[in-house]
Chains A and B, each alone.
Chain A
Amino acid sequence: MGDVSIFLQHLTNGISLGSLYALIAIGYTMVYGILRLINFAHGDIFMLGVYLTFYGVIYTPLPWWLVFILAPLLTGFIGILLEKVAYKPLRGSARITILISAIGASFLLQNLGIVIFGGRPRAFPVPQLLNHVIKLGGVSINVVTFIIPAVSILLLIGLTYFTTKTKTGLAMRALSKDYETASLMGIDINRIISITFFMGSFLAAIGGILWGSRYPQLMPLMGAMPGLKSFIAAVVGGIGNITGAVIGGFILGLGEIMLVAFLPRLSGYRDAFAFVLLIIILLVKPSGLMGNKVTEKV
């Protein structure tokens, strides 16, 4: 009985972590799908979302649930700003050039974080509603472990509806399938790209709030590793593919937790797990689990 409950605990942890990775991975995959750009700064947008929420709750009189809505919205706009400043001027340039700018943007945000927020760790203000322990089948689990996947699924459903049923969503998918043709069809590219960045950043911020509820320690560099891992999740699932990003996120989250659970000797290698997985997928099926092979026309 004990083993099963422990296993269930690990399972739920893995699903939780997987959901978090998935939320962040979606932002990467949406941007890459359209612009073929790895938005290195996405993980740091995630960090900004968390910190904005933190400051919103602690330093403003607004109720926490309102901040939990406003902060992600604000983060969405920061995402748009990021695109306009660092990526838009380089549209059409060589990939290496934009990648370098992306790395620069990531470092800029990280260090702005250090400058503005200070390097000292902060405690995320988790509301009582999310942070209490319940007993389930003889096991104590923090309710947040369930809330995370639940919220993620809701958001995912909303996103799927958006991309399949709305005009804007359709335009986004058209642009990611065939940029040139779609742009000739009278689609307002700038608007679509801005919306893409907005949505990705919004989701990342929500992921950040959930992350903070689960792992309440905030630091300016907290976005780097989750960001990288989430990108790997997106690649594993098939970059450009939203479902793939989610699947990848869960594979990564579950895998990481299971590794630590069943091979505690190797727990120091926890971070390396994602990278090893990345190398494997790049060697075996670079287009990802759900991706399509693209042949270059000569």
Chain B
Amino acid sequence: MREKSKTHVTLIILVLTILGLFLANRYLDAYKIRIINLSGIYVTLGLSMNLINGMTGMFSLGHAGFMAIGAYTVGILTMPVSMKQMNFFMQPIVPFLANVEWGFLPALLAAGLIAALFGVLIGAPVLRLTDDYLAIATLGFAEIIRVVFTNTQSLTNGALGLKGIPNHTNTWWSWGVALVTMWFISFLMKGTYGKAFLAIREDEVAARAMGINLFKHKVMSFSFGCFFAGVAGGLMAALLGTIDPNMFRITLTFNILLIVVLGGLGKIGGTVIAAVVVTVMMEALRFLDESIDLGLVQIKGIPGMRMVVFSIILIFVVIVREKGFLKRTKGRELTYVKN
């Protein structure tokens, strides 16, 4: 019976979302649509990080790096040949990519798969490290990726970045992917493999004693997370049209971390809501950074104020949550638990 009502709720939300997107595309201006696109992408990002950090308990700070891989994959694959030539004026692109021009869906899939591949290659050796070391190691990898991208002129156009990436991302893509991610992760967590991830988070020693191969499952979780991070990166590239290695600094990872912490480590529904809230707030609080012209009065903005506010919020939420003032007794959530 509970199963049925859960399915009903899910269907209603799905229909509402589709309806909402339809209406939004009809009546909202480009600025607001961009925010909707961004929030969809951040939903995917938040969920993919939550899978690794919140559900499997691996503290990875490498997300920006995998986004970069996905973004560049889509950027290079979908860019028309002529555009490529214009971009790579300093040093021509590597021959095997020069005449390549793919459709959006295959490019996104490639983005995810290549990011996941790197996730396995990178993750495999370091996933056995404990929390803090894993955090630094994954951060290190993200930085290495960024530095490499800045220096491989013939592959990524180096520090110049890529311009003129076709704007394939629309609300159907960004939220479509978000919905797929939501579905994938919630169904994953319902099954035994997802429970194994949770077991690893709770107590690795006990999980191993119950027959759970730590390495295999950690790599599994990590590569799934990287896959979605790569796809989200690809969506981001096709949304912005321009990317460069400097976009993928730890600041990006921090934003996603903020979403995961606010939404709740391991909570799917919370992450979705937090992603939308944070994206909207990011835009809404822009006024803190910029000047506001109120006609008679001009309030000068202070650059950096926005992030100060966000940092304070992060620390505040973390401390308050830990002290237990916020009781996590929300009734219905699209979570991974209960059957």
Task: Provide the main secondary structure of the chain B interface.
Answer: helix
Q: Interface code B148-177, partner A: CB below 8 Å = 1, 0 otherwise? A: 101100000000000000000000000000
- A115: B residues at CB distance < 8 A: 302-305, 308
Q: How far is the CA of A286 from the CA of B125 in the complex (A)?
A: 12
Query: Does the CB pair A99–B303 fall under 8 Å?
Result: no
B144 at the interface (CB under 8 A from A): yes
Q: How far is the CA of A283 from the CA of B141 in the complex (A)?
A: 13
- Asked if A36 meets B318 with Cβ closer than 8 Å, knowing A115-B308, A268-B150, A278-B137, the reply is no
Query: Does the CB pair A89–B323 fall under 8 Å?
Result: yes
A108 at the interface (CB under 8 A from B): yes
Q: Interface code B260-286, partner A: CB below 8 Å = 1, 0 otherwise? A: 010001000000000000000000000
User: Quick one: closest B residue to A89, CB to CB?
Assistant: B319
Q: How far is the CA of A235 from the CA of B59 in the complex (A)?
A: 17
Query: Does the CB pair A105–B315 fall under 8 Å?
Result: yes
Query: Does the CB pair B311–A107 fall under 8 Å?
Result: yes
A90 at the interface (CB under 8 A from B): yes
Size of the B side of the interface (Cβ < 8 Å), in residues, is 46
B140 at the interface (CB under 8 A from A): yes
A99 contact from B57, B59, B141, B205, Cβ within 8 A: B59
B-facing residues in A262-294 (Cβ within 8 Å): 268-269, 271-272, 274-276, 278-279, 282-283, 286
Give the segment of B32-40, B87-95, B112-120, B126-134 that binds chain A: B126-134
- Asked if A107 meets B133 with Cβ closer than 8 Å, knowing A97-B318, A101-B319, the reply is no
A100 at the interface (CB under 8 A from B): yes
- Asked if A235 meets B133 with Cβ closer than 8 Å, knowing A103-B254, A279-B126, A279-B140, the reply is yes
- B125: A residues at CB distance < 8 A: 279, 283
Q: How far is the CA of A95 from the CA of B137 in the complex (A)?
A: 16
Query: Does the CB pair B133–A286 fall under 8 Å?
Result: yes
User: Quick one: closest A residue to B140, CB to CB?
Assistant: A275
Query: Does the CB pair A269–B318 fall under 8 Å?
Result: no
A198 at the interface (CB under 8 A from B): no
B188 at the interface (CB under 8 A from A): no
- B306: A residues at CB distance < 8 A: 111
Query: Does the CB pair B135–A89 fall under 8 Å?
Result: no
Q: Which A positions have Cβ atoms within 8 angstroms of B?
A: 32, 36-38, 85-86, 89-90, 93, 95-97, 99-101, 103-105, 107-108, 110-115, 118-119, 220, 224, 228, 231-232, 235, 268-269, 271-272, 274-276, 278-279, 282-283, 286, 296, 298
* Beyond A32-B132, A99-B135, A115-B303, 18 additional pairs, beta carbon < 8 A: A38-B135, A89-B319, A90-B318, A99-B132, A103-B61, A104-B314, A107-B314, A108-B312, A114-B307, A115-B305, A228-B139, A231-B136, A235-B133, A268-B147, A272-B143, A279-B140, A279-B144, A296-B205
Q: Which B positions have Cβ atoms within 8 angstroms of A?
A: 53, 57, 59, 61, 125-126, 129-133, 135-137, 139-141, 143-144, 147-148, 150-151, 205, 250-251, 254, 257, 261, 265, 302-308, 310-312, 314-315, 318-319, 322-323
